[in-house]
């Protein structure tokens, strides 16, 4: 049983049966070293499983289990040690156990004030949540004060579909209770929170939210173009938990997206996410693959907001939500897409196949993961229609390449 597994670990760590893996006669490596070893080993085990080489995968996983338990026993108060164990359990698809262990790690990280590890633990918990079946989406009861626990429960229920439009800059974000990576906005009072919830998947369909995003980016205020917005906001009564969370996260060190957008030398915006050299001043950019993917996802989302035709289909909604999730992972926690995310992103692009411009002037076809083609249908709609469709084609091509298995993001 999962509970006894966890209790055994806590209660009698040195004698737990899982620890019977032969221990090497040396000091256990530091938990940071173990984390680095896991980066390689878990990847390796996943590849072996894909190749159906289960015996070899099992050996690698046993080794990973052994080394994580050993380092936890050496220092049971180290949150990183527990995070490592949680990661192994995640790879083993032991989601309930992983959740308990990661919660324990989160408690230790909070006690020791280790914000960096707390961020990693959040990322791992995020993965656990993603693997849990989607509860049917229901409006959260905000009539009572929201505790941290209720907030987490809310997040776990709605992560699959939930996202919102930043009321200040109009970008699409995943979490209401965090600072926007584009404009740093975070709700400061109850009214702000109510508006954030109102401009979310709680309230509107994806295509409508994308339209709202464009209007806000054009400089309009939500109250100017949404009917009875005050009535909608009033449905979200109170929310002390989110405000508290925002205050606690006031100085968290997320990436500021504006800094990523620009050339560090000449400070001009570089639109093409695959660029290695600044097109304005020829400075070398040294962008990691993960960073390129983050920029690429942002470019695609902006194209969906500004130039591509909005649709009222399930695939369209899934694609937007997936991109918003990827952006959150890449920008907030610097985490690569999971296999499942890579798979469904490719599948959704292929299924949609034809992405039409909102003005009808052009189309981008995704024929295969390696073949994306742009075409102008009506050159009279706008003088830049050809360049725009080519840009979308290139970004989709780049996106498909980066999320394919052939590119290592680390
Ligand atoms: Zn914003
Ligand atoms: Zn430059």
Closest listed ligand to the CA of 282: 2
pLDDT at residue number 56:
84
Write down the pLDDT at residue 215.
97
| Of 47, 72, 45, nearest in space to 61 by CA | 45
pLDDT at 12: 47
Ligand number with the minimum distance to the CA of 165: 1
- pLDDT tens string 223-244: 999 988 998 888 876 666 778 7
Ligand with an atom nearest the CA of residue 181: 1
What's residue 246's pLDDT?
79
| Cα–Cα nearest to 115, from 304, 333, 381 | 333
Q: Domain map of the chain by residue range? A: 2-131, 148-248, 257-402
pLDDT at position 260: 82
Residues of the chain predicted below pLDDT 50: 1-3, 12-17, 19, 133-144, 146, 155-159
According to the CATH classification, is domain 2-131 in 1.25.40? yes
For ligand 1, a single-atom ion, the residues with CB < 5 A are 166, 168-169, 180, 182-183, 185
Q: Is residue 140 within 8 Å of 161, Cβ to Cβ?
A: no
pLDDT given at position 330: 87
255 CA → ligand 2 middle, Å: 20
Q: What pLDDT score does 369 carry? A: 92
Strands 172-173 and 164-165: antiparallel
pLDDT at 348: 93
Question: Distances in Å between the alpha carbon of 97 and those of 64, 101, 153, 382?
Answer: 16, 6, 17, 56
The model's pTM: 0.64
Give residue for tokens 């949609």.
352
What is the pLDDT at residue 137? Answer: 36
Tell me how far the alpha carbon of residue 262 lies from the centroid of ligand 2, in angstroms.
Answer: 8
Contacts of 369 (CB under 8 A, 6+ apart): 346, 350, 400, 404
Provide the 10 A C-beta neighbour count for residue 326: 27
C-alpha distances in angstroms, 231 versus 44, 156, 198, 235?
Answer: 53, 27, 10, 7
Greatest C-alpha distance within the chain: 76
- Residue 223 alpha carbon to ligand 1 centre in Å: 17
pLDDT computed for residue 14 by the predictor: 46
Q: Which two tokens stand for residue 331?
A: 């920008």
């Amino acid at each position: 049983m999962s509970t006894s597994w966890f209790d055994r670990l806590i209660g009698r760590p040195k004698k737990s049966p899982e620890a019977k893996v032969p221990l090497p006669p040396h000091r256990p490596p530091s938990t940071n070293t173990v984390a680095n070893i896991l980066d390689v080993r878990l990847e390796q085990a996943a590849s072996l499983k894909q190749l159906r080489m289960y015996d070899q995968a099992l050996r690698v996983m046993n080794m990973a289990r052994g080394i994580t338990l050993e380092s936890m026993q050496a220092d049971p108060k180290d949150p990183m040690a527990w995070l490592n164990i949680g990661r192994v359990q995640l790879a083993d698809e032991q989601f309930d156990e992983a959740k308990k262990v990661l919660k324990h790690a989160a408690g230790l990280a909070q006690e020791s004030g280790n914000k960096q590890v707390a961020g990693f633990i959040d990322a791992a918990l995020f993965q656990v949540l993603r693997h849990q079946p989607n509860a049917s989406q229901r409006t959260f009861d905000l009539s009572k004060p929201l505790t941290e626990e209720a907030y987490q429960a809310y997040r776990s229920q709605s992560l699959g579909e939930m996202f919102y439009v930043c009321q200040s800059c109009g970008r699409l974000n995943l979490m209401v209770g965090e600072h926007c990576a584009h404009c740093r906005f975070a709700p400061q009072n109850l009214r702000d929170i109510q508006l954030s919830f109102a401009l979310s998947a709680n309230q509107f369909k994806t295509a409508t939210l994308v339209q709202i995003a464009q209007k806000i980016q054009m400089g309009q205020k939500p109250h100017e173009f949404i009917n009875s917005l005050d009535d909608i906001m009033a449905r979200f009564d109170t929310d002390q938990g989110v405000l508290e969370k925002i205050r606690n996260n006031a100085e968290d060190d997320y990436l500021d997206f504006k800094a990523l957008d620009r050339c560090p030398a000449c400070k001009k915006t570089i639109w093409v996410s695959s660029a290695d050299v600044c097109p304005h001043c020829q400075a070398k950019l040294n962008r990691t693959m993960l960073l390129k993917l983050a920029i690429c996802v942002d470019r695609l989302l902006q194209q969906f907001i500004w130039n591509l035709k909005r649709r009222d289909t399930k695939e369209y909604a899934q694609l937007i939500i997936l991109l918003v999730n990827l952006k959150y992972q890449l920008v907030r926690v610097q985490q690569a897409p999971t296999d499942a995310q890579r798979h469904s992103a490719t599948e959704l692009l292929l299924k949609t196949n034809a992405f039409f411009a909102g003005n009808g002037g052009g189309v981008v076809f995704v024929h295969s993961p390696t073949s994306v083609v742009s075409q102008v249908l009506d050159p009279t709609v706008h003088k830049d229609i050809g360049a725009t469709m080519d840009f979308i084609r290139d970004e989709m091509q780049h996106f498909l390449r980066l999320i394919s298995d052939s590119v290592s993001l680390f």
